[in-house]
Every structure is written in C-alpha cells, then in structure tokens.
C-alpha cells in the first residue's frame, strides 16, 4: 500500500511542506526510516536527527523544524498523528473471510454480517457475534457470550460463559476473560470454593494485552469501562471496576473489589490490594504497592529507588532502625522541652 504525502497530510489535518506527490509506503523511526517512509519527531532530543535522516518525510511540530528537511507534514502533535497514520499501514487483517471449515460453531449462535471465524475456533451455544467481528485461530467463546461489532480477538483467546464485550475492542493472544475469581472460604484448615456467579462486562474501544487475565465477579460483574487500555500479563481480580480511559501497564495486579476511576494510569508492576477506592486522574508509578485508598487525584509512588547493592543494604539496615530512632528522638524532644 502506498499514499501520497498530500493524502497523508489530509488524513491528519496537517500542513504539507514539500512534494505533495511523494509516495510513502511505510512508517519508520527518524534514525531508520528509508526514502519511501514517513517518520516523526516528538521528543526534542531527536531534533538533531532531522539533519541526517533518510526519511522521505517527517511529521514535525512547527515550520522551523520543517525547514530542516525536504518534505514535512506540520501537525500540533506528531506522535498522535503518527498513531493515526499507523492504521493505514496495518497488515494484520486475516487472510480469509467467513467461517472456516475447521471452526466449530453452535447452531444456536447468532453470527452477524462480515464475521470471520478462524480455524479451530469454538463458538458455544447462544453466543452472539455482531457484525464485523473477527475470531482468531483457536479461540474458545463460551456459552451466552456477546461480542460487539468490529471487535477482534487474536489467536487463542478464551472467553468464559456469559462475558460481554463491547464494540471495536482488540483482545490479544492468550488473554483469558471470565475465569473464576480467587474466592474461597476457610473451613477447618481447608478451603470451601465460592462459586463465582457474576460475569465480566467490557466497554467499547478497549484493548487487552497478551496473556492478561480478567476474573469474573463473585456475585456482581467485573467491569472495564470504555476506552481502557490494558497491557500484557496484567491480573484483574473479581469485582474490580476500571473507569473509562484508564491505562494499566504490564505485570500490574489489581486485587478484588477495588474501584479505579476514569483517566488513571497504573504503571508496570504495580500492585493494588483489594477493596480500595482510587479516584479519577490518579497516576501510580512503576513497582508501587497501593495499600490504601487514594481519594485525591495526582501522582503517587512507593518503594525504594535503585542503588548499588552495598548502598541499598545500608539503607535497608537504617530503615529497620526507624522505629528505634523515632523513640530516641521523642525522648530527646521531651528532655529539650524540660530544659526549656
């Protein structure tokens, strides 16, 4: 596929400077793009690369940057424009259409128009696949699942019974949605399973990464809002609620019944314990442990920063003495107050 610079500029509502007939057949970085590819400059530290890049054109933020190269598209946000243009060069569409002969589809399933069901996929009873849904190779769609129009499941996704997926979602390989939550009642040194009677409801325009797991609710549903993006290998436990347009990075784990607001960011490796409330607009930095509710928006961090091992050991040793040191300081304050 190939587009002229004029077509690409119009697509992102940009201002073209240079050869409007120049053909672009791909995207690349500012350092690796070829003469037929489009690159972008979003980080100022790469501005010097404008003098040496081989890119056929570059997305830039202003005319001063555009003047450094032969062909440029000026936009207010080059990174966002690059993201939009990536859709034009996406080649991930399936190589077949319709229902493959090696798919297993229940007679009671409702299949909309232009649906793709790939080899070895299993569609169980009373499933609803709305128009333009794509089911990848080896997916298992449990009974009574509903998948909204335009949603795509990549290979080997498993949706347990009764899961509801919105429109225009993307679910990557190995994701499991609707497995039982970790619910057990202690009994005489053992455990009694609590059967998980809820489901999972996922909104529109949600993207879920590879090998991520979202557990079904114990009684009420686990709920993921519209526009949420979830990275690979994330664990979301039963009855969690994630608000609209929140982003959760890789290897984060959210324990049961915690509520996360709209437009939050949960960075990689964050742990959030259960039954907490996190309000809108909260940003939690990488590897933090959230052990209490966050009721004021803003950025939050926990843990100790990386250091050389010997310095880290000394810091930990001092940390262990904090309680003792606090008592000593309190005693000294009392003595000073007496002297005063």
Q: Is 338 exposed, middle or buried (0-12, 13-18, 19+ CB in 10 A)?
A: exposed
CA distance 328 to 340: 18
Residue 155 DSSP code: T
Count the Cβ atoms, other than its own, within 10 Å of residue 46.
15
Structure tokens at 222: 């686990």
The vertex-150 CA angle with 77 and 208, nearest 5°, equals 65
Burial per residue of 209-225, b for 16 or more beta-carbon CB atoms within 10 angstroms, e otherwise: bbbbbbbbbbeebbbbb
Task: Specify the residue for token string 């664990």.
Answer: 235
CA distance 271 to 327: 31
Structure tokens at 252: 């984060």
Q: Is 238 a catalytic residue?
A: yes
Q: Which of 161, 238, 245, 283 is catalytic?
A: 238
3-state secondary structure of 6: helix
Active-site residue list: 238
């Amino acid at each position: 596929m190939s587009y002229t610079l004029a077509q690409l500029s119009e697509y992102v509502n940009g201002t073209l400077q240079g050869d409007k007939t120049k053909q672009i057949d791909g995207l690349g970085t500012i350092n690796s793009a070829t003469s037929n590819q489009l690159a972008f400059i979003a980080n100022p530290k790469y501005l010097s690369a404008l003098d040496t890049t081989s890119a056929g054109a570059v997305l830039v933020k202003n005319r001063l940057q555009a003047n450094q190269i032969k062909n440029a598209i000026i936009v207010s946000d080059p990174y966002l424009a690059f993201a939009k243009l990536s859709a034009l060069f996406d080649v991930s569409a399936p190589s077949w259409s319709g229902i493959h002969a090696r798919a297993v589809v229940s007679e009671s399933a409702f299949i909309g128009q232009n649906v793709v069901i790939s080899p070895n996929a299993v569609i169980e009873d009373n499933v609803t696949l709305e128009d333009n849904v794509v089911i990848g190779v080896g997916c298992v769609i449990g009974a009574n699942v509903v998948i909204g129009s335009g949603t795509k499941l990549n290979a080997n996704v498993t949706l347990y019974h009764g899961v509801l997926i919105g429109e225009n979602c993307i679910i990557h390989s190995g994701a499991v949605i609707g497995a039982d939550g970790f619910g057990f009642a202690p009994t005489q040194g053992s455990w009694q399973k609590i059967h998980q009677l809820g489901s999972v409801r996922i909104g529109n325009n949600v993207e879920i990464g590879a090998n991520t797991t979202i557990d079904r609710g114990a009684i009420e549903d686990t709920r993921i809002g519209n526009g949420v993006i979830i990275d690979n290998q994330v664990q979301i436990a039963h009855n969690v609620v994630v608000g609209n347009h929140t982003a959760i990075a890789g290897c984060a784990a959210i324990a049961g019944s915690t509520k996360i607001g709209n437009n939050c960011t949960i960075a990689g490796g964050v742990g959030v314990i259960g039954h907490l409330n996190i309000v809108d607009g909260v940003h939690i930095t990488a590897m933090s442990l959230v052990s209490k509710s966050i009721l004021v928006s803003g950025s939050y961090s926990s843990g100790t920063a990386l250091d050389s091992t010997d310095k880290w050991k000394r810091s930990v040793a001092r940390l262990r003495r904090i309680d003792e040191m606090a008592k000593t300081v309190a005693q000294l304050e009392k003595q000073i107050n007496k002297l005063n």
